[in-house]
Amino acid sequence: MASDHNHSIPLKVYFNILIALLILTVITVVAARIDFGVLNTVIALGIASIKATLVLGYFMHLKYDDKLYWVVFGNAIFFLILLYFLSVLDIFTRIPQMNPL
Amino acid sequence: MSTANTVVKQHHHAHHFQSAEHEYHTSKLGMWVFLATEILMFGGLIVGYIIYHQNYPAMFHAGSQFADWRLGALNTVVLLVSSLTMALSIFYAQKNDKGKMLLNLYMTLACAAIFLIVKYFEYSHKLHLGLAPGKFFSYTGPEAAEFSNLAMYFSFYFCLTGLHGIHVVIGMAFITWVVIRGHRGEFGSHYYTPVECVGLLWHLIDLIWIYLFPLLYLIG
């Protein structure tokens, strides 16, 4: 058993990933202080997604593991995106009306 | 199987698995299925947040002014470091280094505790001002006069960070369980599935915070 999946990642890679994640955190904070208008959310979520990819790929070993795990997790992400787009299509194509809130 | 085994606490795979390798991969697949359901649970809340944020950008901006981004950034760094130490504990489990594995697990626990302490101060500050979710909202400052639905931001804030906080507490419980088994010498290169699976859970908790931090503290 041990020989097959013990292709452990070098320690240096883990530390480099942490440094990359910290730098991206600083970039998010700095980017939030600049007003990009409607792009604010897109930029913040974009940087978060880069960070998430690093965590998934290296800390959670998806890059090195059986692709099956990625298919399972990717399914959840796919349905989440589907949920978002269908909700947006519904809510933002409605006839404008007064909202009681 | 009947030969004398002198190793203490040597793990044997369950009889319904063909091999230890088979057991390891099955456990991990099960863990990833669970993580997928977690993403769907948090994802529903986050999609709701993004849509209402697009509907009421000014109100969410006013609400997020109460969330101190410095504390959010501190907690982000704390969780990222805890993710590293968790990954290192698995690394050392694979290398049969029990001492360093346990040390990294303890550091992960310490980071989780720091996270919760910071969260406690954030929560008590908000609740002190009356910035509670839903019908418990009792804040009467100028922002509340300007935005009649300001409570909505705090409903999202407490639902998202509260559910995340519960996950941190549960994650700490599982890490403690792994620490106890680690002290008994159950883990090594031959068997470290529980460390690996608890690690996956912990990284997911970090992953969710990576999204919550900009959403709640920065882009409001």
Provide ipTM, 2 decimals. 0.88
Q: Is A35 exposed, middle or buried (0-12, 13-18, 19+ CB in 10 A)?
A: exposed
Which residue type, as a one-letter code, is found at position B102?
L
User: Cα distance from A34 to chain B (closest Cα, Å)?
Assistant: 10
Q: Is B196 exposed, middle or buried (0-12, 13-18, 19+ CB in 10 A)?
A: buried
* CB within 8 Å: A48 and B69: no
CA distance B126 to B39: 27
User: Which one is predicted more confidently, A71 or B19?
Assistant: A71
Among the partner-chain residues A25, A66, A76, the one whose CB lies closest to the CB of B76 is A25
CA distances (Å), B96 to each of A88, B86, B137, B204, in order? Answer: 51, 15, 53, 25
* CB within 8 Å: A48 and B219: no
Residue of A18, A54, A78, A82 to mutate, testing the B interface (most B Cβ within 10 Å of its Cβ): A18
pLDDT score at B137: 87
Q: What is the pLDDT along chain B (220 residues), one digit of tens a residue?
A: 444 444 456 788 888 888 888 999 999 999 999 999 999 999 999 999 999 998 898 999 999 999 999 999 999 999 999 999 999 999 999 999 999 999 999 999 999 999 999 999 999 999 999 898 888 888 888 888 888 889 999 999 999 999 999 999 999 999 999 999 999 999 999 999 999 999 999 999 999 999 999 999 987 6
Whether residue A18 has pLDDT greater than 50:
yes
Hunting for tokens 């992400």 — which residue is that?
Answer: A77
Which residue type, as a one-letter code, is found at position B145?
A
Chain A residue numbers with beta carbons less than 8 Å from the beta carbon of B219 are 32, 40-41, 44
CB B201 within 8 A of CB B174: yes
CA distance B176 to B186: 14
**With left for phi above 0 and alpha for psi between -120 and 50, is residue B14 left, alpha or beta?**
beta
Q: What is the DSSP string of B162-193?
A: HHHHHHHHHHHHHHHHHHHHHHTT--BTTB-H
Chain B residue numbers with beta carbons less than 8 Å from the beta carbon of A35 are none
Among the partner-chain residues B24, B39, B206, the one whose CB lies closest to the CB of A77 is B39
User: Cα distance from A55 to chain B (closest Cα, Å)?
Assistant: 7
Q: What is the DSSP string of B122-170?
A: HHHHHHHHT--SGGG----SHHHHH-TTTHHHHHHHHHHHHHHHHHHHH
**With left for phi above 0 and alpha for psi between -120 and 50, is residue B133 left, alpha or beta?**
beta
Whole-structure pTM value: 0.90
Provide the sign of the torsion angle of the four alpha carbons B130, B125, B175, A73, taken in this order.
positive
B contact residues 40-69, partner A, Cβ 8 Å cutoff: 40, 43-44, 47, 50-51, 53-55, 69
Among the partner-chain residues A1, A17, A88, the one whose CB lies closest to the CB of B20 is A1
